[in-house]
Structure 1
Amino acid sequence: MHSWIERFNQAELPALAAVVQDLHRLTQNGKSSVQQLADVLLRDASLTSKVLRIGNSVYYNPSQETIRTISRAIVLIGFDNVRQIGLSVSLIDGLLGSASRHQLQELLARSFHAAVQARNIAGYVLSRHEEEVFVAALLHNIGELAFWGCADDQADELASALAQPGVDADEAVMAVLGTSFRHLTQGLVKSWNLGGIVGLAQNSANHNDPAVRAVSLGARISEAALQGWDSVAMEKLLDEMASLTGVTPEEAMQQVLASADEAVKVAATFGASELGKLIPNTDPEQIRLQQEQRKASLLQPNLLVLQQALQDLGQMAVQRGEVGNILDTLLRGLHQGAGLERVMLVVLADGQSCFRAKRVVGEATEKGLNDFVLPVEQPEQQHIFSYVLRHKEALWMGVPASYNLAELVTQPIRQRLGQGMFFIAPLLAGKREIGVIYADGRVSGRALKHEQFVAFQRFTQLTGRCLEALTKKG
């Protein structure tokens, strides 16, 4: 652990550490002056300008009285607010400025969400120190934030390890880092002299302290929200929050949802609207979409499933499998095995005049693909589905090799399926045309990989052999 702390402090995060330490020290000193806070912020012209911009925002300055100096900002919006803004902006710039990996963005979004939840919970149980609670929750996972922001090769190694099916996250972290994220955070808190509520929140012995409970609840609510506002974990936390704050669980739910909305506004106010998009939405339709995107982002190729599906198709090509089993195996192999987020089989229907969805699998398929229908012939413009069936070749659309066919992805197709890379191939039973197989990574927006295209081609060919065997023996 000490080697990581030394690395962060010496090579990676000295500027951030200095600002965090100085701003936090002002909290510990009850006699800190306006000038002392101004002096810390004025050392960095960029930080100063951002604090003033945020201080002039509607969120912090609803009266819209123009603020041109740090001292005026402190007078108008408060010492604690200006200090909190300075620390938050420093954290965003110090981490997101050096790296943009999605693990860092997701954790930073969760930290801002936790901070707003914790501060608003503290408003029920504390007469002061709400801003300290905000900062403590914001820095609750500073060790993990520092790792994803600075670790480079080791971060890549851990990301790969965590992507493996069934992995124990804590064991993977220990194997790569030689310590836990919790110990890393405790080490940074000690190294940066972050006492007060920040330090107390890292010590389980202080769990009865109202401020520490607010920090802990805020952090856990931000995590549980990723499972859904109606999850079992959230239900337990709402009961705990209701007990702490003296409200009903239903009132606690309304407070939590309002805090989530506020966290999105805070992130946008701090110039990090991309983080706001990662905070669970409170609109029912947006909740569904975010949950689907999160599931899709967790979907990883599973070699065991892929190999078993290929083996099963191979046997069914020889032993004449049932059509339903063949198609189930095809979709399972492409979705769970190859890690393709949306897979659709369309077949020729209505006297071979149109393509109609036969089977779909993956998140967000219900609205987009289940009722997919496309005329085979469109006199005004040929399209990619008819093209691949006519030319009997699998294509990877969205890469340079297929740019010359981009116009075949017509506007109606883009409207139904979205934009971006996809795989498409004909499904043939010998020479008989059955339909087309389509697959993409549209839900999470991740780029498709060569290994996935190879698997896609293999599954398409094997399925064709299975269907051909049925026509010969049937």
Structure 2
Amino acid sequence: MATDSRKSPKSLDEWTELLRIQEMPIFSNTAQNIYAALDDRKKGAMELATVILQDPNLTAKLLKVGNSPYYNPSKQKMSTVSRAIVVLGAEVIRELTLACSFFEAILSSANKERANREIAQALHAAVQARELAITVRDTSPEEVFVAALLHNIGHIAFWCSNNPQSRKVHDLIEKSRLNSREAEKAVLGFTLWDLGKKLSKSWRLGGLIEEAIVTPNSDDKRVQMVQMGHRICDALKAGRDSEAMQECLEKIAAFSGLSQEAVKAKIAKNTSEAVQIARQFGANDASRYITSEGVPAGVDETEDTKIDKKELQFQILQDISSHISGNIDLNVLFEMVLEGIHRGVEMDRTLFMLLTPDKQTLNEKFSLGWPIMGCDEKIHIHHSESQANLLFDALQYQDGVWQFPEEHPHLYSAQIQQKIGKHECFVFPIHAENKAVGLIYCDRSLHGLPLTRDDFIGAKHFAKQAHIGLTLYCMKNH
């Protein structure tokens, strides 16, 4: 059902459509793409990395939070999404990317105070639920985290929307003696819990997220962990010595097998962790609503700073060096090299292709910046005896080539123009044991910015790392 943005939504369906399409489209698209990349077992880390790398802000936030002590206690520095997936694992990356895209979509709210309270509750409950899942040795604590984070999605989406009707509910709650559900029903005709159920189905979030929203009183232990995360937050609001907190401690102690004192200590530690994580995600205002205890005043050290291009290149080259000094995974190596060129040299489109054994075809292996396509739509370039083309010509240049369409128009054959286009570009052949095995292509065709000599040198450094890694791999495996 399409909703006219000039009219105030009236029904539950209209509110669902407004929030799904107009208010939180970034979260909607990112969430679905990430779930698709992870749920398809045929797809690997690169498909997940590709979804993340399409959004530079998400990439920067993910790496920043991923390097925090909470997610990365071993302090292994990660400058590439590819390495982050290796170090942290795909499940943790899913947790992080969904949380990052979630905060990205909701932090520009008009109802600041109420929105920040809802965000604080979501993140705090997620941290408490995740740690409880770890305590009872759950197989996927990250899934519990995400389910708890999105458990009150109807409330969060509503209060973070800029629709004037949310202000009416806010005023009614503040001025009347109605409880939240009664106020929601009086103004909207439905509760925000109903809205959350609709949104979870509309976004096709499925799994534990939807199960915990639709059947909150389920006997399923994982649903109970999600609920307990939120009960802890509610009990803390009532007071650490309140009846609600005592009841909460008893339930969690029985559930986890820990003593009440141990549970109390864990809750306190998790609360402090939640404050720090909120700040890492950029939700500084929301972090103040998690707790007023033990929160240091002053400058927030997590403020984003723009990393210099040369510094980023250096950091990513360090990631690659770390990888090739141990057990080399060639897929991870080339993913990192491609990411280095794409992010470090700021290319619009980057492509790694492998040469077939008969040397007649180049097949796309990994790409960044192109539309995400199915396996049948990958780029394939064939060698032709009768006509030279850009990519096969580049295989003869040991150190790579910087090509201009106006200087060598004959190399931009019909096949090249159809599959790649007619753009200024860098092409670097990849060799193993003095034989070409593939190549890396990159350009700035989307934004049309000029390529420079420094760009060529930077990209060449990454291509050389691919060659070094491949050589070491061959030596170790012969």
TM-score range, shorter chain: 0.5 to 0.7
Counterpart position of 2:180: 169
Counterpart position of 1:270: 281
- Pair 1:3-2:11 in alignment: no
- Pair 1:37-2:48 in alignment: yes
Quick check: 2:151–2:213 contact (8 Å CA) kept in 1? yes
- CA-based RMSD: 2.2
Counterpart position of 1:152: 163
- Assess, with a 3 A threshold, how the Cα gap between structure 1 residues 251 and 45 changes in structure 2: closer, same or farther: same
Shift of the alpha carbon at 1:208?
A: 1.3
The whole-number CA distance in structure 2 between the counterparts of 1:146 and 1:16 is 11
Shift of the alpha carbon at 1:206?
A: 6.0
Q: How do residues 343-422 of structure 1 correspond to structure 2 at under 5 angstroms?
A: none
Shift of the alpha carbon at 1:27?
A: 4.8
The whole-number CA distance in structure 2 between the counterparts of 1:282 and 1:238 is 20
- Pair 1:233-2:239 in alignment: no
- Assess, with a 3 A threshold, how the Cα gap between structure 1 residues 25 and 167 changes in structure 2: closer, same or farther: same
- Cα shift readout 1:171-216 (whole Å, capped 9, x = no counterpart): 1101222211111000011011111110110133762111111000
Q: How do residues 79-228 of structure 1 correspond to structure 2 at under 5 angstroms?
A: 79-99=90-110, 101-204=112-215, 207-228=218-239
The whole-number CA distance in structure 2 between the counterparts of 1:11 and 1:283 is 38
The whole-number CA distance in structure 1 between the counterparts of 2:38 and 2:97 is 13
Where structure 1 has 5 or more consecutive residues not aligned to the other structure, the ranges are 287-474
Instruction: Give the letter aligned to residue 152 of structure 2.
Output: N
Q: Which has the higher helix share?
A: 1
- Cα shift readout 1:213-257 (whole Å, capped 9, x = no counterpart): 100000111122112121111111111111111112222111111
- Assess, with a 3 A threshold, how the Cα gap between structure 1 residues 263 and 154 changes in structure 2: closer, same or farther: same
Where structure 2 has 5 or more consecutive residues not aligned to the other structure, the ranges are 1-11, 298-478
The whole-number CA distance in structure 2 between the counterparts of 1:163 and 1:205 is 27
Counterpart position of 1:302: none
Shift of the alpha carbon at 1:43?
A: 1.5
The whole-number CA distance in structure 1 between the counterparts of 2:67 and 2:140 is 23
Other structure's SS at 2:279 match: helix
Q: Which shifted more, 25-34 or 97-106?
A: 25-34
Counterpart position of 2:34: 23
- Assess, with a 3 A threshold, how the Cα gap between structure 1 residues 29 and 199 changes in structure 2: closer, same or farther: farther
Counterpart position of 1:251: 262
Quick check: 2:65–2:281 contact (8 Å CA) kept in 1? yes
Counterpart position of 1:463: none
Counterpart position of 2:328: none
The whole-number CA distance in structure 2 between the counterparts of 1:177 and 1:40 is 36
Equivalent of 2:85, from 31, 54, 74?
74
The whole-number CA distance in structure 1 between the counterparts of 2:296 and 2:89 is 37
Shift of the alpha carbon at 1:61?
A: 3.0
The whole-number CA distance in structure 1 between the counterparts of 2:194 and 2:175 is 24
- Cα shift readout 1:377-424 (whole Å, capped 9, x = no counterpart): xxxxxxxxxxxxxxxxxxxxxxxxxxxxxxxxxxxxxxxxxxxxxxxx
The whole-number CA distance in structure 2 between the counterparts of 1:161 and 1:205 is 27
- Cα shift readout 1:99-143 (whole Å, capped 9, x = no counterpart): 352100011011000000001111133431100000000000111
Count of aligned pairs: 286
The whole-number CA distance in structure 1 between the counterparts of 2:182 and 2:273 is 35
The whole-number CA distance in structure 2 between the counterparts of 1:197 and 1:280 is 28
- Assess, with a 3 A threshold, how the Cα gap between structure 1 residues 219 and 205 changes in structure 2: closer, same or farther: closer
Shift of the alpha carbon at 1:264?
A: 1.1
* TM-score normalised by L of structure 2: 0.57
The whole-number CA distance in structure 2 between the counterparts of 1:275 and 1:10 is 25
Counterpart position of 1:397: none
Quick check: 2:216–2:227 contact (8 Å CA) kept in 1? no
The whole-number CA distance in structure 1 between the counterparts of 2:74 and 2:108 is 32
The whole-number CA distance in structure 2 between the counterparts of 1:222 and 1:25 is 32
Shift of the alpha carbon at 1:165?
A: 4.3
- Assess, with a 3 A threshold, how the Cα gap between structure 1 residues 195 and 107 changes in structure 2: closer, same or farther: same
- Assess, with a 3 A threshold, how the Cα gap between structure 1 residues 13 and 211 changes in structure 2: closer, same or farther: same
Instruction: Give the letter aligned to residue 99 of structure 1.
Output: A
- Cα shift readout 1:59-87 (whole Å, capped 9, x = no counterpart): 33344443222111111222222222211
Other structure's SS at 2:213 match: coil
* TM-score normalised by L of structure 1: 0.57
The whole-number CA distance in structure 2 between the counterparts of 1:143 and 1:249 is 33
Instruction: Give the letter aligned to residue 18 of structure 2.
Output: R
The whole-number CA distance in structure 2 between the counterparts of 1:210 and 1:163 is 36
- Cα shift readout 1:42-67 (whole Å, capped 9, x = no counterpart): 11111112112222333333444432
Quick check: 1:125–1:210 contact (8 Å CA) kept in 2? no
Quick check: 1:108–1:145 contact (8 Å CA) kept in 2? yes
- Assess, with a 3 A threshold, how the Cα gap between structure 1 residues 32 and 128 changes in structure 2: closer, same or farther: farther
Instruction: Give the letter aligned to residue 153 of structure 1.
Output: P
Counterpart position of 2:322: none
- Cα shift readout 1:300-337 (whole Å, capped 9, x = no counterpart): xxxxxxxxxxxxxxxxxxxxxxxxxxxxxxxxxxxxxx
Q: After the TM superposition, which parts of structure 1 deviate over 6 Å for at least 4 consecutive aligned residues?
A: none
- For the pair shown, which has the larger CA radius of gyration, 1 or 2? 1
Quick check: 1:104–1:145 contact (8 Å CA) kept in 2? yes
Shift of the alpha carbon at 1:261?
A: 1.2
The whole-number CA distance in structure 2 between the counterparts of 1:244 and 1:88 is 27
The whole-number CA distance in structure 2 between the counterparts of 1:100 and 1:37 is 34
- Assess, with a 3 A threshold, how the Cα gap between structure 1 residues 122 and 229 changes in structure 2: closer, same or farther: same
Instruction: Give the letter aligned to residue 164 of structure 2.
Output: D
Other structure's SS at 1:277 match: helix
Counterpart position of 2:438: none
The whole-number CA distance in structure 1 between the counterparts of 2:51 and 2:224 is 30
The whole-number CA distance in structure 2 between the counterparts of 1:43 and 1:83 is 15
Shift of the alpha carbon at 1:283?
A: 5.2
